[in-house]
Amino acid sequence: MAVGVFDSGLGGLTVLDAAVKRLPDVPFVYFGDNAHAPYGVRDAEDIYQLTTAAVERLWDEGCDLVVLACNTASAAALRRMQESWIPRDKRVLGVFVPLIEALTERQWGDNSPPREVSVQHVALFATPATVRSRAFQRELAFRAIGVDVEAQACGGLVDAIEEGDMILAEALVRSHVDALKRKMPDPQAAILGCTHYPLMFDIFQDALGPEVKLLSQADLVPESLADYLTRHPDMMGRGTVSKFLTTGDPAKVSRHATSFLKRQISFEKA
């Protein structure tokens, strides 16, 4: 009864690793579209086509439920997919909502009207495509009022992380935080709006300062997924084997993934 997890590259492994720990009896099939990463610099139509192709591949693996552990895909493609593409017996979930519900202190599935919340100034760090989509602000408006969101497009950061260049990645994080603080000097909370970014969590926190509450999907999505599966056990697909698939070079992707997670990961060609 496998669940699919999709990302444009390796960032979704941060969500997958936490989900495996939370749901150890659930087989997960991970699909990384490394041949086309990063998505954050692509246009919305391109992202939609790549995302739907990847989701169909995970359906072929017996994953009736797929988590888009890619903020860019969630922002640029998910709404269109849900409105006109996903069949009734399948589900595709994004990763924004659990973050926003944690930020606004709402329970999963709370559909009450938007209300004032304690956090009024929020920094969002994301890819250029996610920032352009304004999907985070749209989803937040369904749940909260009066929240000022300042978004910072973190150009180059995903590439640096994917290539394992952590010196460059740290320099980029600090540069992007400085740019954000010039626009919003005192954010109360900050969102890591890309699943690659939790790999740089400590650097973001250090650059922002200890007083800023830093929210990461790797910490929040697994609990939301566990709750969803409790309420919708019929969405567990027919797949039974955990595996890792990539459109890139399996040997190279496996090396980088093993370095990321500090355990042996072996990718197969998708």
Active site residues: 70, 194
Q: Token digits for 67?
A: 């988590």
Q: Token digits for 126?
A: 């994301």
Residue type, 240: T
Taking a C-beta distance cutoff of 8 angstroms, is the pair 261, 13 a contact? yes
Report d(CA 253, CA 197) in Å as an integer: 18
Report d(CA 237, CA 222) in Å as an integer: 17
Task: 77-85: list long-range contacts, CB under 8 Å, 24+ apart.
Answer: 77/44, 77/47, 77/48, 77/51, 77/52, 78/51, 79/135, 80/48, 81/48, 81/51, 81/52, 81/55, 85/52
Report d(CA 30, CA 3) in Å as an integer: 9
Q: What angle, 0 to 180 degrees and rounded to 10, lies between the N-to-C axes of helices 201-208 and 166-183?
A: 40
Q: Who contacts 111 (Cβ-Cβ below 8 Å, separation ≥6)? A: none
Report d(CA 118, CA 70) in Å as an integer: 28
